Amino acid sequence: MARRLPTIGDVARAASVSRQTVSNVLNSPEIVRAQTRARVEAAIAELGYRPHAAARRLRTRRASTIAVRLDPFVGGISGAVLDRFLHALTERAEAKGLSVMLYTATDAADEIRQFRRLVDGAVVDAFVLAATYYGDPRTEWLIEHGQPFVTFGRPWGIADLSDPLHFWVDVDGRAGVRDAVARLRETGAQQIGFLGWPAGSGTGDERRAGWAAALRESGIGDSELVRLTVESEDGVAEARAATRKLLAQASDLDAIIAASDTLALGVLIETAGALPVVGFDNTPVAEAIGFSSIDQRVDEVAAAALELLDLVGHAEAGGPGGHRLIAPDVIMRAQGPALGLVG
C-alpha cells in the first residue's frame, strides 16, 4: 500500500532533536556533534526516511535535474553512440545525486519552446546538448537566459573555441584516426586509404585530418594523399560505390579507415572482407560482425560533461571557458578468415 512516507519531522521526533538538526545531518554533517549525528542517523535508518524531492527543490530552488534531448533521428547505425552516452551520463549523474530527464523536439524552434517549458517550470537546471552548429539558436538562447549547459561536440564554426560562455566536451577524432593508422602499421599495412564524409562537417574533417597528418609524418606527399582518399555520404550503398572508386584509383591499398561504421560496413561488403577496415564509433554492428573501430569512450565524455556542469555556475565570471577533449580508443579486431565475408 502507498503508506504515508515519513517526513523530516518524524525523524526529528524519533531522535528527539529539531527538524533543522536532521536537515543538517543530511546536508552538512560536519557541523553536527558526532553523538547527535549518530542518533539521528539511526532514526533515519529505522524509519527509512528519505527527503521529499519536491519539497527540497521548492525550498532550495534547485531541481538537481539535467535535461537531455532524445533525438528523433537517432537513425543510422551510429545512433548507438548517443545511446551509450546517455546511459553513461545517467549512471554518473545518479552518483552525483542528479537526475536525468528526457525531452524531444522536432527542430531548433521547437527545442527552444521546450527550454522555456523546462526552465520556466523550474523542472531542470541544466542542459546537455548532443550536437551544435554555427550560429546555433539553441546555445544562443541558453546563454542569453543564463541557463547552464554543456555540449557534446565542439561549437563548430565559433572562432574562439575557448569562449568562456560555452562549455563543451568532445572526442578527439583526429588523434583517434592517427592512432588507428599507427595500429594498422603495426600489423604490417603500408598503404592506408581513407573513406570520409564530404568536406564541411567539422567532425568528418577532423577525422580525415588525423589520417592525413599521420601519412604526412611518414613523408607522403599531398598528391599521394589525394589518390588514397574518397568521399561518401553516410550510407552503405554510397560507401560501396565510393569503395569501388577508391580501389580503382589506388589498387595497392593494404587497409582502409572509414569515418563511420556505416561506411566501414560498405567497404567490408564491397571488398568481401579481404581488406582490413577500421570504422568509427565501435557500434554493435562492428562488434557483431567483427571489424575494428574507434571507440568514443562515452563514459569519459559523460564524466567530463558533468564536471563541466559543476563549473558553469562558478567560473562564469570571465574565467577560462571549460572544455575537454577526450582521446578515443582504437579497438582492433581480428577480422581475418574467421569472419571474412563468404566469396
List interacting residues with a copy of itself (CB under 8 A): 1-2, 5, 48-55, 57-58, 63, 65, 70-72, 74-77, 79-80, 83-84, 86-87, 90-91, 94, 99-104, 116-117, 120-123, 145-147, 235-237, 262, 265, 269-272, 284-285, 287-290, 338-339, 341-343
Given candidates 1, 2, 3, 33, which one binds DNA under the rule CB under 7 A?
Answer: 33
Nearest to 192 by CA among 206, 182, 202: 182
Left (φ > 0), alpha (ψ -120 to 50) or beta: where does 38 sit? Answer: alpha
Residue 13 vs 57, nearer CB to a copy of itself: 57
Q: Which does 183 bind (CB under 5 to 8 A by kind): DNA, a copy of itself, none?
A: none
Residue with Cβ nearer DNA (123 or 213) = 123
Element containing residue 88 per DSSP (H, E): helix 79-95
Candidates 14, 23, 172, 255; binder of DNA (CB under 7 A) is: 23
Rounded Cα distance between 235 and 173, Å, is 20
- Among DNA, a copy of itself, none, residue 18 binds (CB under 5-8 Å by kind): DNA
Residue 116 touches DNA, criterion: CB under 7 A:
no
Return the bridge partners of 193, or none.
256
Select the binding partner of residue 289 from a copy of itself, DNA, none (C-beta < 5 to 8 A, by kind). a copy of itself
* Cβ 292 vs Cβ 331: under 8 Å: yes
CB of 26 to DNA, least distance (A): 5
**Which of 1, 2, 48, 59 touches DNA (CB under 7 A)?**
59
CA dist., res. 55 & res. 198, Å (int) = 52
Binding flag, residue 66, DNA (CB under 7 A): no
Rounded CA separation 164/321 (Å): 3
7 binds, among a copy of itself, DNA, none (CB under 5 to 8 A by kind): DNA
Sign of dihedral through CA atoms 177, 183, 185, 191? negative
β-pairing verdict for 126-129 and 192-196: unpaired
Q: Which residue, 147 or 205, is less far from a copy of itself as judged by CB?
A: 147
Query: Which of a copy of itself, DNA, none has residue 314 at its interface (CB below 5 to 8 Å by kind)?
Result: none
Number of residues counted as binding DNA (CB under 7 A): 32
In angstroms, what CA-CA distances link 296 with 121, 181, 330? 34, 16, 9
d(CA 123, CA 143): 18
Cα gap 29→31, rounded to integer Å: 6
Residues that bind DNA (CB under 7 A): 4-5, 7-9, 16-24, 26-27, 31-33, 35-37, 49-52, 55-56, 58-61
